[in-house]
């Protein structure tokens, strides 16, 4: 039975909490024993609503050892791993601190604010011989897993082009409004758009270069609307867009469209459709569990079985940050074609 400590129970942290409650009820060998959050009012049931439906339950916090200081929790608890759901600017510091204590780490996306911080996180994991995984949940999302299978298997031949989008309302719910501070979150580009950057990296590899147009709408928040073209040697045509200023009744949407030599895959409104060029399109049967649940199971199994982190290897998620850094440099220069640093 692995003992886990959860640090940060804001919007995403509550989603992780829900999944630990579920996994324990299913008899999975993981037990959440301690929770840390700087805001003690959260232990009294204070919650905020985000842009997707996660972490909406009522919680009995009396079952856990509660802390408002991470150092105290790491000192007093005997943990097998730490689940970090803190603001992005704290990811590197908290991860390295836990790894140096000999504790495995599952850390929320994005990996860190900079690739240099990512490198230090990886070095700490290697030095302490501990596992580190970044919770890039789309790598565990059934529809995106299916797309990965079609890209790698060649079932429809080579991929020719693709479009990825996500967007919704402005995230005004974060503690101390950190999400709308570009110095703490990296803005929409690094916080929300990073999901599709990571997918493009995972599916097609690191592009040679990028061309990004982006604009700031909310003062101080960084780039709020982003559109990037990814440039590959083989001519693959890929674009990803994000906009977190879609207010009113828009809600939230994530979708993709990828075209192959012999067909296409379309994912929108939560439904994946597979369309062969020479036959009738169909909706495949997919696992019901979402990526949040499945990524935790994957990480726990990797610790228990001492198997390497392959699906979301930290070196790969560091490359995602390198691509995002190139996108920001390109956006800063009005879409100038900008190489991705290797």
Least confident of 29-33, 39-43, 331-335: 39-43
Strand partners, 275: 264
Residue 331 neighbours by CB distance under 10 Å:
24
- Summarised one tens digit per residue, pLDDT across range 67-94 is 999 999 999 999 999 999 999 999 999 9
Mean pLDDT of 58-68: 94
Give the pLDDT score at 149. 98
How do residues 98-151 score in pLDDT, each as one tens digit?
Answer: 999 999 999 999 999 999 999 999 999 999 999 999 999 999 999 999 999 999
Q: Report residue 173's pLDDT band, with 50, 70 and 90 as the boundaries.
A: confident
Task: Indicate the SS3 state at residue 95.
Answer: helix
- Residue 11's pLDDT is 87
Q: Average pLDDT of the chain? A: 96
- 125-144 per-residue burial string, b: 16 or more CB within 10 A, e: under 16: beebebbbbbbbbbbbbbbb
Q: 111: buried, middle or exposed (CB in 10 Å: 19+, 13-18, 0-12)? A: buried
Q: What is the average per-residue pLDDT within 24-39?
A: 97
At 47, is the pLDDT very low, low, confident or very high (cuts 50, 70, 90)?
low
CA–CA separation, 178 and 162 (whole Å)? 32
Q: Report the alpha-carbon distance of residue 127 to residue 129 in Å, rounded.
A: 6
Check if the beta carbon of residue 339 is closer than 8 Å to that of residue 326: yes
Supply angle C-alpha 85, 86, 92, rounded to 5.
105
* pLDDT band for position 45 (cuts 50, 70, 90): confident
Q: What are phi and psi of 7, to 5 degrees?
A: -115, 115
**Mean pLDDT calculated for residue range 251-270:** 97
Which pLDDT belongs to residue 213?
A: 98
* CATH number corresponding to 2-135: 3.40.50.720
Condensed to tens digits (0 to 9), the pLDDT of residues 190-213 reads 999 999 999 999 999 999 999 999
The pLDDT of 329-340, averaged and rounded, is 98
Helix boundaries (H) for the chain: 11-25, 70-76, 91-100, 115-128, 142-153, 182-185, 187-191, 194-204, 291-305, 314-332
List the chain domain ranges. 2-135, 139-292+320-339
**Given CA atoms 74, 76, 81, 84 in this order, what sign does their dihedral have?**
negative
Domain boundaries 139-292+320-339, CATH class? alpha beta
* 146 CA to centre of own chain: 18
Cβ atoms 85, 178 nearer than 8 A: no
**pTM for this one?**
0.95
Q: Which residues contact 182 (CB under 8 A, 6 or more apart)?
A: 220, 221, 222
Whether the bond into 110 is cis, omega within 30 of 0: yes
- Give, in order, the Cα–Cα distances in Å from 233 to each of 153, 168, 206, 210, 267: 20, 33, 11, 12, 26
Q: Out of 53-57, 134-138, 223-227, which region has the weakest mean confidence (pLDDT)? A: 53-57
What's the rounded Cα separation, in Å, for the pair 155 and 178?
44
At residue 217, the pLDDT reads 97
Burial class (CB in 10 A: 0-12, 13-18, 19+), 56: exposed
- State residue 342's pLDDT score: 86
Question: Does residue 56 have a pLDDT over 80?
Answer: no
Higher pLDDT among residues 34 and 342, named by residue: 34
DSSP per-residue letters across 250-270:
--EEEEEEEEETTEEEEEETT
pLDDT of residue 321: 98
Beta carbons within 8 Å of 310's beta carbon, 6+ residues apart: none
Query: What does the pLDDT read at residue 239?
Result: 98
Confidence of residue 54 (pLDDT cuts 50, 70, 90): low
Task: Indicate if the pLDDT at residue 334 is higher than 70.
Answer: yes
**β-bridge mates for residue 32, sequence order:** 4
Please give the average per-residue pLDDT across 255-279, as a whole number: 98
Distance CA 201, CA 198 (A): 5
* Residue 24, pLDDT score: 97
Share of the chain above pLDDT 70, in %: 96
Q: What residue has token string 């012999």? A: 262
Neighbours of 65 (CB within 10 A): 14
Give the model confidence (pLDDT) of 10-22 as tens digits: 989 999 999 999 9
Q: Do the first three CATH levels of 2-135 and 139-292+320-339 match, i.e. the same topology?
A: no
Note the pLDDT of residue 46. Answer: 65
């Amino acid at each position: 039975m692995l003992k886990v400590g959860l640090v940060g129970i804001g919007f995403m942290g509550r989603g992780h909490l829900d999944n630990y409650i579920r996994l324990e009820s299913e008899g999975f060998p993981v037990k959440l024993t301690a929770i840390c959050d700087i805001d003690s009012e959260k232990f009294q049931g204070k919650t905020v609503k985000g842009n997707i439906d996660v972490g909406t339950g009522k919680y009995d916090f009396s079952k856990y050892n509660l802390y408002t200081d991470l150092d105290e929790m790491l000192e007093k608890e005997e943990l097998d791993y730490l689940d970090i759901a803190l603001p992005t600017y704290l990811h590197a510091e908290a991860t390295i601190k836990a790894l140096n204590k000999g504790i495995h780490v599952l850390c929320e996306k994005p990996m860190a604010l900079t690739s240099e911080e990512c490198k230090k996180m990886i070095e700490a994991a290697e030095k302490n011989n501990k596992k580190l995984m970044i919770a890039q949940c789309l790598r565990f999302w059934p529809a995106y897993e299916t797309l990965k299978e079609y890209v790698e298997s060649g079932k429809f031949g080579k991929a020719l082009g693709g479009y990825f989008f996500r967007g919704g309302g402005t995230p005004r719910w974060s503690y101390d409004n950190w999400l709308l501070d570009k110095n703490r979150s990296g803005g929409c580009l690094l916080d929300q758009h990073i999901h599709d950057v990571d997918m493009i990296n995972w599916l097609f590899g690191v592009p040679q270069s990028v061309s990004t147009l982006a604009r700031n709408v909310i003062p101080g928040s960084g780039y709020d609307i982003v559109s990037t073209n990814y440039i590959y040697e083989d001519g693959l045509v890929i674009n990803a867009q994000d906009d977190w200023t879609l207010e009113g009744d828009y809600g939230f949407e994530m979708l993709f469209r990828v075209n192959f030599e012999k067909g296409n895959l379309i994912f929108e409104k939560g439904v994946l459709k597979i369309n062969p060029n020479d036959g009738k399109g169909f909706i495949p049967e997919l696992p019901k569990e979402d990526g949040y649940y499945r990524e935790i199971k994957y990480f726990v199994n990797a610790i228990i079985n001492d198997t390497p982190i392959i699906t979301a290897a930290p070196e790969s998620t560091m490359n995602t940050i390198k691509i995002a850094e190139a996108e920001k440099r390109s956006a800063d220069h009005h879409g100038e074609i900008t190489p991705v640093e290797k």
